[in-house]
Amino acid sequence: MTTFLTTIPSPDRGVWQLGPIPLRAYALCIIAGIIVAIYWGERRWVARGGVKGEVTDIAVFAVPFGLVGGRLYHVATDWHKYFGEGKNPWEALAIWNGGLGIWGAIALGGVGAWIACRRRGIPLPAMADALAPGIVAAQAIGRLGNYFNQELYGGPTDLPWGLEIYERIDPATGFKDELTGVAIDHTPILVVHPTFLYELLWNLGVALLIVWADRKFRLGHGRVFALYVAGYTAGRFWIEIMRTDPATMVFGLRVNVITSVVVFLGAVVYFVLAAKKGGREVIVRGDAAEESDGDGDAESAGGASAADPGTAGAGDGKAGATKVPGIEPAAKSDE
């Protein structure tokens, strides 16, 4: 017993039954993350000049698209779990059993957000900047679901923060059931690196980093989102290498390692190139847009405008807001 006194115990289960309804920790964590992302994104969007409620409108499109995209990526990269001899292809639709790829979720979720932004006359890069910290915080919360599912961990370790893994069984049959079973015996069968925890902490660090950088340098034109993507993928690269769960291999590497490198490079290139557009754009929405000088430089209600990028960085060496004629740059701080 003394061997495991300093390790991290796992929950004895990841699913609770409320009568005939299963309450899944994984799903609850995903829902909690979405709520945090919308709430935080809403505050940041309003601080940039947006209208309250618009982030929720965008989420109505982005969240379903993101869930579908996340599942498609997971099934595409772990197809051997669902297709082939002895497999049940219908399990590919069982999203409640876990399995969402963040790459697909962000990609297709971005498509949903783009559609919604087009419908509302909102510039997608500005919305993405507002949402970025909330998205990475939501990813951190979602990783708690992996903790309850006893998944996404690394190799054996004797470090004091090693994670205890228990054998879970179906109490009714006594057969092994890793997903919905219960740990009757709390003697660890493994003590491993909690890579889900490493990623959770890394994601929170990225959230703090991009909020700090956004406040200090007044980033705009999608650069906050690009910094989030670069920061996340940098961490995902080394964390993915530590994982020991089965994964699709490409050129001898886990597919998510390669994806991390490619996406990181793309994010860095965008971050550098977007700097040429100037400082943070000021979003003019609703009544503020109608009160503009009417010379065509700012759109009316339901639109957004950014002009005169040459005002960025004037005077103090910092990137200033891209100013819309007739409208003063927002003085509110971001949450």
Residues 231, 209: contact at Cβ < 8 Å? yes
**Dihedral (Cα; 177, 179, 185, 189), 10-degree rounding:** 90
Please state, as a whole number, how many other Cβ atoms lie within 10 Å of the Cβ of residue 32. Answer: 15
pLDDT at res. 132: 98
The tens digit of pLDDT for each residue in 171-223 reads 889 899 988 899 999 999 999 999 999 999 999 999 999 999 999 999 999 99
pLDDT tens digits, one per residue of 65-109: 999 999 999 898 888 888 888 888 888 888 766 688 889 999 999
pLDDT at 246: 82
pLDDT at 111: 98
Return the half-sphere exposure (C-beta side, CA atoms, 13 A cut-off) of residue 331. Answer: 2
Average pLDDT, the chain: 85
pLDDT of residue 92: 85
DSSP string, 151-176: -S-BSB--STTPEEE---B-TTT--B
Task: Give the global pTM.
Answer: 0.84
pLDDT of residue 6: 81
Q: Report the pLDDT value the prediction gives residue 289, as an integer from 0 to 100.
A: 53
pLDDT of residue 88: 86
Q: Which residues of the chain are modeled with pLDDT < 70?
A: 1-5, 96-98, 286-335
